C-alpha cells in the first residue's frame, strides 16, 4: 500500500505540475482580481505546492494576451522603466514603446488576416533579449449587403477605386513616426457611451464587391460633440469626398485616431489638442447613410479595432 502511495506521489504530482506549467497562460492579466482567483484554484488543489512561475527569457514583463484575435491590440508591459529597447520586431515591423505609469509599454497591433503563430522579439541596450509567441485566432466578421448612397454618384467599382486612392493619400500621413509620444493617459471614447451601429472588420457587400469596414461606428443623438480620444497634434482637418468632414490626430510614435463623417470640424491642421477637447460635431457627410461618427485607429499603419484598442490601457 505504501508503495502504491509512493508511486502516486512520484507519477501523479510531476504530471500535474507539468500540466499546470503547460496550460497556464504565459500572461499576467491586467485585472488583479482575475489573477488571484486563478492562483487560488491551483493552490487549493495542491496545498503543499507553490505554483511555479512560468520561466521566460528576458526581463520581467506582462502581455495582456497571448491568444489575440484578428484586429485586437495586445498590450506589452515591461516592469523596469530603465529598460531601453534597441531593436524589436513583430510580423516584420518594429514596435513603438511608451513610458506609462512607471512601466515601458507597447501596443502590439494584430492585423486582419494574420491568423497563426507570430514571434515577438526585442533586444535591449543592456544586452538582454526577450521572445514571446502570439497565437492569433480567427475572428468571424459579419457580412452585410449595403447600398452606396446616391449623393456620392459612384458605382461600386468606382467607389472601391476611390477608396484605394484615398488610402494611398492617408498612408502618407499615417506612416509618420514622431519621436515624441504626445499622450500619457489612457484613450477615451470620443462620443461617450453612444451605441455602436457598425463594428470593426465587418464586410459590406454591394453586388459582388466587398468593402471591409476598418473602424467602428457610433450612433449618438444628433448634434453630439466629438472629443479627442487622447492628446495629440491635428494632421488633417476638413472636407473629403468620401470621408466627409474628417479629423486625424497624431498621438505620437505611429498611433493615430481618425474621426469621419462629421457635420463640422472645429480644429485646424497643426493644432495641439488635449484628451477630451471638442474637435467637431457628429454628422452625415461623405460616404455615410445616416448621422454617426466613424472612428478608426492605426498603429504603425495597421488598422485595429478601436474598442479593443481603447480598452487595452484601462
Ligand atoms: Zn464606419
Q: For residue 99, report the distance from its CA to the centre of ligand 1, in Å.
A: 31
**Cβ partners under 8 Å of residue 98, min gap 6:** 104, 105, 106, 107, 181, 253
pLDDT of 252-269, one tens digit each? 999 999 999 999 999 999
Q: For residue 259, report the distance from its CA to the centre of ligand 1, in Å.
A: 9
Q: For residue 198, report the distance from its CA to the centre of ligand 1, in Å.
A: 6
Q: CA 160 from chain center: how many Å?
A: 25
Q: How far apart are CA 263 and CA 275, in angstroms?
A: 21
Q: For residue 269, report the distance from its CA to the centre of ligand 1, in Å.
A: 23
Q: For residue 188, report the distance from its CA to the centre of ligand 1, in Å.
A: 18
Q: For residue 197, report the distance from its CA to the centre of ligand 1, in Å.
A: 9
Residue among 178, 173, 172, 175 nearest 253 (CA): 178
pLDDT tens per residue across all 314 residues of the chain: 444 444 444 444 444 433 433 333 333 333 333 333 333 434 444 444 554 444 467 899 999 999 999 999 999 999 999 999 999 999 999 999 999 999 999 999 999 999 999 999 999 999 999 999 999 999 999 999 888 888 888 888 888 898 889 888 899 999 999 999 999 999 999 999 999 999 999 999 888 888 899 999 999 998 999 999 999 999 999 999 899 999 999 999 999 999 999 999 999 999 999 999 999 999 999 989 899 999 999 999 999 999 999 999 97
Contact 299, 254 (CB under 8 A): yes
Residue among 202, 296, 200, 278 nearest 242 (CA): 296
Q: For residue 140, report the distance from its CA to the centre of ligand 1, in Å.
A: 18
Q: For residue 61, report the distance from its CA to the centre of ligand 1, in Å.
A: 35
Domain ranges of the chain: 1-55, 59-139, 143-312
Q: For residue 213, report the distance from its CA to the centre of ligand 1, in Å.
A: 6
Q: For residue 135, report the distance from its CA to the centre of ligand 1, in Å.
A: 28
CATH number of 143-312: 2.70.70.10
Tell me phi and psi for residue 4, to 5 degrees: -60, -45
Q: If you classify domain 59-139 with CATH, what class do you get?
A: mainly beta
**Cβ partners under 8 Å of residue 87, min gap 6:** 94, 122, 123
Q: For residue 221, report the distance from its CA to the centre of ligand 1, in Å.
A: 16
Contact 134, 64 (CB under 8 A): no
Residues lying with their CB under 5 A of ligand 1, a single-atom ion: 198, 215, 217, 294
| Vertex 224 angle, CA 73 and 244, to 5° | 70
How would you class 52 by CB atoms within 10 Å of its CB: exposed for 0-12, middle for 13-18, buried for 19 or more? Answer: exposed
Grid cell 531601453 is found at 84
Q: For residue 306, report the distance from its CA to the centre of ligand 1, in Å.
A: 11
Q: For residue 214, report the distance from its CA to the centre of ligand 1, in Å.
A: 7
Q: For residue 217, report the distance from its CA to the centre of ligand 1, in Å.
A: 5
Contact 131, 87 (CB under 8 A): no
Q: For residue 304, report the distance from its CA to the centre of ligand 1, in Å.
A: 13
Q: For residue 295, report the distance from its CA to the centre of ligand 1, in Å.
A: 7
**Cβ partners under 8 Å of residue 170, min gap 6:** 236, 248, 258
Task: Write 310-313 long-range contacts (CB < 8 A, 24+).
Answer: 310/186, 310/187, 310/188, 310/189, 310/229, 312/64, 312/73, 312/74, 312/75, 312/107, 313/75, 313/100, 313/105, 313/186, 313/187
Residue among 266, 265, 274, 231 nearest 245 (CA): 265
Cell of 50: 507553490
Q: How far apart are CA 267 and CA 168, in angstroms?
A: 23
What's this model's pTM, rounded to 2 decimal places? 0.81
Amino acid at each position: 500500500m505504501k508503495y502504491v502511495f509512493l508511486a502516486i506521489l512520484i507519477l501523479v504530482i510531476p504530471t500535474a505540475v507539468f500540466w499546470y506549467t503547460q496550460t497556464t497562460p504565459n500572461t499576467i492579466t491586467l485585472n488583479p482580481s482575475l489573477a488571484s482567483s486563478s492562483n487560488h484554484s491551483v493552490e487549493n488543489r495542491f496545498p503543499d505546492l507553490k505554483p511555479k512561475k512560468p520561466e521566460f527569457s528576458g526581463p520581467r514583463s506582462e502581455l495582456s494576451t497571448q491568444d489575440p484575435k484578428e484586429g485586437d491590440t495586445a498590450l506589452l508591459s515591461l516592469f523596469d522603466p530603465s529598460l531601453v529597447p534597441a531593436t524589436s520586431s513583430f510580423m516584420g515591423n518594429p514596435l513603438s514603446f511608451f513610458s506609462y505609469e512607471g512601466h515601458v509599454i507597447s501596443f502590439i497591433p494584430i492585423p486582419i488576416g494574420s491568423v497563426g503563430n507570430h514571434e515577438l522579439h526585442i533586444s535591449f541596450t543592456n544586452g538582454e533579449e526577450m521572445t514571446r509567441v502570439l497565437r492569433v485566432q480567427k475572428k468571424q466578421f459579419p457580412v452585410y449587403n449595403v447600398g452606396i448612397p446616391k449623393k456620392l454618384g459612384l458605382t461600386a467599382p468606382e467607389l472601391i477605386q476611390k477608396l484605394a486612392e484615398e488610402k494611398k493619400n492617408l498612408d502618407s500621413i499615417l506612416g509618420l513616426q514622431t519621436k515624441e509620444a504626445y499622450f500619457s493617459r489612457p484613450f477615451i471614447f470620443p462620443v461617450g457611451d453612444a451605441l455602436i451601429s457598425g463594428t470593426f472588420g465587418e464586410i459590406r457587400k454591394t453586388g459582388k464587391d466587398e468593402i471591409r469596414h476598418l473602424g467602428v461606428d457610433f450612433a449618438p443623438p444628433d448634434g453630439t460633440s466629438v472629443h479627442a480620444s487622447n492628446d495629440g497634434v491635428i494632421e488633417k482637418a476638413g472636407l473629403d469626398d468620401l470621408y466627409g468632414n474628417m479629423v486625424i490626430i497624431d498621438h505620437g510614435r505611429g498611433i493615430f485616431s481618425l474621426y469621419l463623417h462629421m457635420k463640422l470640424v472645429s480644429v485646424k491642421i497643426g493644432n495641439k489638442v488635449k484628451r477630451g477637447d471638442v474637435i467637431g460635431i457628429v454628422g452625415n457627410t461623405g460616404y455615410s447613410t445616416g448621422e454617426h461618427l466613424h472612428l478608426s485607429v492605426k498603429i504603425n499603419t495597421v488598422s485595429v479595432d478601436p474598442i479593443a484598442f481603447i480598452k487595452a490601457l484601462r
